[in-house]
């Protein structure tokens, strides 16, 4: 893809905001009443996050992540308006990796591509984390359409934060 980005590429860039990182509620999460109890256990709980994509400087995408105590991840973003499903695991002291995928459809609901996201993350406090990673749009034939880099900052929330 050279020259001026096509409309399709611009749409892909906008859609891969889910990248990162790509907000939501999940059925299976650890209780979030005492955030400090979770810091040693990893990211289990629910988080409000902000995603910044390198190829879209100045734009911030908001999302909700739900890291389950069993290693599952559920994500919902504003721009993508799709639910992403994934997994996470601890990789070290206050560090974890998460991966997720979400499907992207056209206005009629037909499959366009899948966004695959992988991030390396670090808990910076009992109630905050940061991550850095990539999001890749892949078509039905397995062709890579676009890859973007993104950063996520997350803030844990609980029942008393409403």
Residue 37 lies in a domain: no
- For 148, the enclosing helix (H) or strand (E) is strand 144-157
Residue 1 counted as domain residue = no
Residue 107 lies in a domain: yes
- Please determine, for residue 98, whether its predicted confidence score (pLDDT) is greater than 90: yes
Is pLDDT above 60 for 116?
yes
Q: Which residue has the higher pLDDT, 23 or 114?
A: 114
**pTM of the entire structure?**
0.76
Does residue 38 sit within a domain? no
CATH no. for residue 84? 2.40.128
Q: Give the count of domains, the chain.
A: 1
Q: Residue 130 domain-assigned?
A: yes
- Domain span at residue 113 reads 7-31+45-161
Per the prediction, the chain carries an average pLDDT of 81
Sign of the dihedral defined by the CA atoms of residues 11, 17, 22, 25, in that order: negative
The pLDDT tens digits of the residues spanning 20-54 come to 333 333 333 333 334 444 445 689 999 999 999 99
Does residue 91 form part of some domain?
yes
Cβ burial 116-145 (10 Å sphere, 16+ → b, else e): bbbbebebeeebebebebbbbbbeeeeeeb
| 6 pLDDT above the threshold of 90 | no
pLDDT at res. 16: 46
Does some domain include residue 40? no
Is residue 126 pLDDT above 90, yes or no?
Answer: yes
Distance CA 138, CA 104 (A): 10
């Amino acid at each position: 893809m050279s020259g001026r980005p096509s409309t399709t590429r611009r749409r892909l860039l906008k859609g891969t905001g889910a990248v990162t990182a790509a907000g939501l509620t999940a059925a299976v999460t650890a209780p979030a009443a005492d955030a400090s109890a979770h810091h040693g256990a990893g990211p289990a709980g629910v988080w409000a996050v902000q995603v910044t994509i390198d190829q879209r400087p100045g734009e911030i995408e908001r999302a909700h992540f739900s890291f389950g105590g069993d290693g599952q991840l559920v994500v919902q973003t504003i721009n993508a308006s799709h639910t992403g499903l994934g997994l996470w695991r601890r990789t070290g002291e206050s560090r974890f990796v998460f991966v997720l995928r979400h499907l992207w459809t056209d206005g009629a609901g037909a499959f366009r591509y899948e966004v695959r996201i992988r991030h390396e993350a670090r808990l910076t406090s009992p109630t905050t984390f940061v991550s850095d990673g990539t999001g890749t749009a892949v078509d039905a034939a397995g062709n890579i359409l676009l890859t973007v880099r993104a950063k996520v900052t997350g803030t844990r929330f609980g029942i008393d934060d409403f």
